């Protein structure tokens, strides 16, 4: 038998063994996947969505998406774990209808997620009342439900009418208490007498946490859009799926916090104003462009006192003018007053107002940055006293920040604003020569020391030596 024939047979046998091994592995994987699917199908799925803060469009969209997914996946239960003061620019009726139309039982559980207490106020309180099971943790409370929309004036939305429809068996006293008061689940020993949710007869399940809630719900019969459903939630067979808002919606949800929006606007505009005093467009400018869209989105979600926001903007502009003229007088006082008053009233004086400590500290930080820090930076950019920019023509220096085409150069231990011509870009550390001036900006060109030495040597070479 030839050597080539033997090699061919060996290769054929190896390929056959590899194929058999691959088929065996594929069969094993398919069997394991099927077994895993069977085990998952046997599990009782419970979907949980923790939500903390305002009920705004990103949260409402996540809730409705979860209800649709739970119905499609055959989930046994959806738990909306909430803690917040109310709704902002959200369609309350649409969300209530989505909950009531869900074939999967929906439990709204007022439970702490951070801290020791939680509450469901405004639209969250109505959502709690509309759920198939109203659950509350011992340290939590519900109400006040009016106003449901914190961005609306009282009387715009019929909270009382909606609450009566959602709680037909509740007394008039219970409805009145929930509408106007933060009603505690349980009054702590030693506290002043107060109406509790148990006394109002509107709470259905008390539980200290989600595990306790599942135990309380096991065996309970719930009426949904699909009819009566008896919950079977054995602890050893429950598959809990924890959901979140997702990155994009989480950012938009964070942008509905008044203090967060205020800081985004101030920091974003402050960075752009700082960039206006710098040659070129750098990191601060790009950071400002990233922050501002979220701030502007927040202004569309929250009720805004526009004259106060205008005062904040005017204050920032006056701070910029004050930095440009390097003054510390009437302009500084006007900028501080405008910015401070606008910060205090930007979102009104109620629940949505910017916390006073944040407004005060931000005003102090703005004064310190624009009046002192930025002024020092601009003076450093102007160069040393007694030196005129015209005196620097033909002087040599080093690029301190990239010229693209503007930046900073270092000449005789002083920092100067400079611009390179002919659409060139010079990296940090590149040698330059000053060729002219444009106002307070130096016009520079690349400088090659080696080429300069050759040129000077040629210029000093006698003609008879050529």
**pLDDT category, 371, cuts 50, 70, 90?**
confident
Task: Write the pLDDT tens digit of every residue in 92-137.
Answer: 999 999 999 999 999 999 999 877 789 999 999 999 999 999 999 9
Return the residue matching tokens 């803060």. 53
pTM, two decimals, is: 0.65
Does residue 144 have a cis peptide bond before it, meaning omega lies within 30 degrees of 0? yes
Q: 11-25, 92-106, 107-121, 303-317: which has the highest mean pLDDT?
A: 92-106
Position 153 pLDDT exceeds 80: no
Q: What does the pLDDT average to over 69-77?
A: 93
**pLDDT category, 339, cuts 50, 70, 90?**
very high
Q: 258-262, 274-278, 430-434: which has the highest mean pLDDT?
A: 430-434
Q: According to the model, what pLDDT value does residue 2 have?
A: 42
Domains in the chain, ordered, with CATH? 35-247 (3.90.226.10), 255-381 (no CATH), 389-453 (2.40.50.140)
Handedness of CA 360, 85, 171, 156 (dihedral sign): positive
Q: Give 329 or 450, the one with higher predicted confidence.
A: 329
Taking CA atoms, 405 is separated from 410, 417, 418, 444, in Å, by 16, 11, 8, 10
Instruction: Dig out the tokens for 43 from the structure.
Output: 């599990």
Q: According to the model, what pLDDT value does residue 386 have?
A: 55
- Non-local (6+) Cβ contacts of 39 within 8 A are none
**pLDDT category, 424, cuts 50, 70, 90?**
confident
Q: According to the model, what pLDDT value does residue 457 have?
A: 43
Position 3 pLDDT exceeds 70: no
- Low-confidence winner among 174-183, 206-215, 327-336 (lowest mean pLDDT): 327-336
């Amino acid at each position: 038998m030839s050597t080539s024939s033997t090699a061919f047979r060996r290769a054929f046998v190896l390929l056959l063994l590899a194929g058999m091994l691959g088929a065996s592995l594929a069969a094993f994987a398919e069997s394991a996947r099927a077994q895993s699917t069977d085990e998952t199908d046997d599990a009782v799925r419970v979907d949980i969505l923790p939500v903390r803060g305002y009920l705004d469009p990103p949260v409402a969209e996540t809730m409705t998406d979860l209800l649709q997914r739970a119905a499609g996946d055959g989930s046994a239960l959806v738990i909306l774990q909430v803690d917040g003061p109310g709704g902002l620019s959200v369609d309350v009726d649409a969300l209530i209808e989505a909950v009531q139309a869900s074939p999967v039982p929906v439990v709204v559980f007022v439970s702490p997620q951070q801290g020791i207490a939680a509450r469901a106020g405004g639209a969250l309180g109505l959502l709690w009342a509309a759920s198939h099971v109203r659950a509350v943790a011992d340290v939590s409370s519900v109400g006040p439900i009016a106003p449901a929309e914190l961005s609306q004036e009282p009387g715009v939305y019929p909270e009382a009418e909606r609450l009566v429809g959602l709680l037909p068996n509740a007394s008039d006293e219970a409805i009145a208490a929930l509408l106007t008061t933060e009603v505690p689940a349980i009054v702590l020993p030693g506290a002043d007498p107060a109406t509790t949710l148990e006394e109002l007869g509107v709470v259905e399940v008390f539980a200290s946490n989600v595990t306790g809630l599942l135990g309380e719900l096991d065996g309970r019969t719930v009426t949904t859009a699909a009819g009566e459903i008896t919950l079977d939630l054995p602890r050893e067979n429950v598959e809990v799926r924890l959901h979140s808002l997702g990155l994009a919606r989480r950012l938009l949800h964070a942008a509905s916090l008044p203090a967060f929006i205020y800081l985004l606007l101030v920091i974003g505009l402050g960075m752009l104003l700082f960039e206006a005093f710098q040659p070129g467009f750098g990191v601060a400018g790009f950071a400002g462009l990233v922050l501002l869209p979220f701030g502007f989105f927040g202004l569309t979600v929250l009720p805004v006192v526009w004259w106060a926001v205008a005062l904040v903007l005017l204050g920032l502009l006056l701070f910029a003018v004050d930095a440009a003229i390097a003054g510390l007088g009437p302009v500084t006082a006007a900028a501080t007053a405008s910015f401070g008053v606008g910060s205090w009233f930007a979102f009104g004086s109620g629940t949505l107002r910017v916390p006073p400590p944040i407004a005060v500290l931000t005003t102090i930080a703005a004064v310190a940055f624009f009046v002192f820090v930025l002024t020092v930076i601009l003076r450093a950019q102007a160069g040393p006293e007694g030196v005129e920019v015209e005196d620097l023509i033909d002087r040599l220096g080093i690029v301190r920040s990239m010229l693209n085409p503007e930046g900073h150069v270092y000449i005789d231990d002083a920092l100067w604003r400079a611009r390179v011509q002919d659409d060139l870009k010079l990296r940090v550390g590149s040698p330059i020569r000053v060729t002219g001036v444009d106002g307070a900006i130096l016009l520079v060109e690349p400088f090659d020391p080696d080429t300069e030495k050759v040129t000077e040597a040629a210029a000093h070479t006698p003609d008879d030596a050529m």
